[in-house]
Structure 1
Amino acid sequence: MAFTRATGKHRKPSRAVRVSANAAGIATLAATGVVAGFAAPALAATPDEVPHSTEDTGLTQAVVIGEDTAGRIGEQAQVQSSSAAESSAVHEAEAAAKQQAYDVKKADDEAKRKAEAERKEQERIAREQERKRLNTFVSPIAGSYVSTSYKASSGLWSSGSHTGVDFHAETGTSVQAVGAGTIVEAGWGGAYGNNVVIKHNDGTYTQYGHLSSIDVSVGQSVTAGQQIGLSGATGNVTGPHLHFEARTGAVYGTDIDPVAYLAEHGVSV
């Protein structure tokens, strides 16, 4: 009959118990993230092979390994944290660059829009000025007055009546085009003496007679107020003045009331 003896408080646990305990400790460490492989020497050791002073080596090694692993985990955490910070900084830099590019493009588009609007406004102003220039009319002699009216009767005119109006003017007074147009006649005109005929942009014509000198030539473009010659007393006259006619055509006999013509174009004489 076999007898067993209970282990007293002064007796060492059996080998099987100690091995089981070490294995359980290692498993626990492995479950908490500590590399279990480092505890392998503790499983291989026996009370007979290891001095009494190193009986608890398995636990001591596990603690050391745990601290080392924790250090590495801490380092990894720091690396990951640094990487996350760098990634965040990169994203912020990219976002800032995109915002800056957007702001630059927006400013550039706004500058282009303003430049285009200004260009269009300048074109509009230029067109308006040109329209005004083409449609502006003035008196043929500044500050003068009509001395002989339209259709006045006299034997001085071959038709028996005046085909235009006479503006008071001394010889050498500046005579100007009443409106923009093209010179269609510039030279001697028989009874009209030295004369100029202008075709205007609206298709009407004006004539300037008895000039002492002519400053324009056929085909030349003129503007309202431009000097075309100087008044005089050439042709069939009794004294210096300007004979002014308004016509629907270039030739004699197409005359219309010059005063009414000028009034229609905004000129009062």
Structure 2
Amino acid sequence: MPAKGKHRRPKSQRFSRTIAIAGVGGVALALPLMGAAGVHAATPAAAHSVVKAAPAAAKTYVVKAGDTLSKIADAQNVSGGWKRLYSDNHSAVGGDPSLIRPGLKLTIGQKAAAPAAKSSATATQAFAPKAATGAGFALPVQGASIGTAYKTAGSMWSSGYHTGVDFVVPTGTPIKAIGAGTVVSAGLDGAYGNEVVIQHADGKYSQYAHMSSLSVSSGQTVTGGRQIGLSGATGNVTGPHLHFEIRTTPSYGSDVDPVAYLRAHGVSL
């Protein structure tokens, strides 16, 4: 799912600071703070106050046709770029930041209100996986051709490129864990549809998306080659396939080349 969006440094904010001094006839005069040294010397007893400009209020942006998070972040000077914009609006956008629809309202300037958090047991499993047994790596699906390759560029992806690799298979094809590990999440995840994420012994995570059904659950340990579900077309897709990623964290945006990873573990493609 599409290269890092453009990051533009936000324009520095100038804070208007003034002091108030007593004037003739009791009328208050406002002077710039930078030129106030002489005034203080002449009127040591004069009451003064420093007024700071209020921080910019958060605003709402309504997504238009052709928009991407990268374009919006660039146009709105979002500090942190599209990743910050996505983080602040994750509850509204969903699991795939490359899929934003016209009419969607995004909060710019602060984090949007989030839905109720998942149970602590589920949330911590990704960081404290159980030990897994089994060895050896294999393809996640057999007899499949590769459709969209890793890092294929395109404006449909907020990061500018495809973050995984697509294996073209019909619905109902068995999907298998590429290696031993612990299931850190299994279920419906927005545009990814039914997905499974597995943490492996080397600290990397494999993701399997758009499945029609799942046969594992969060917290379960699996061996390499263990069936974890069936391929499908759930979520936002144009046809049945397996979207497969290798990540350095359980979350979107930490992808590495999945083909290179498999080859490094002795898997031929």
Structure 1 length as normaliser, TM-score? 0.49
Structure with greater Cα Rg: 1
Structure 2 length as normaliser, TM-score? 0.49
Which structure's relative contact order is higher, taking Cα pairs within 8 Å and 6+ residues apart? 2
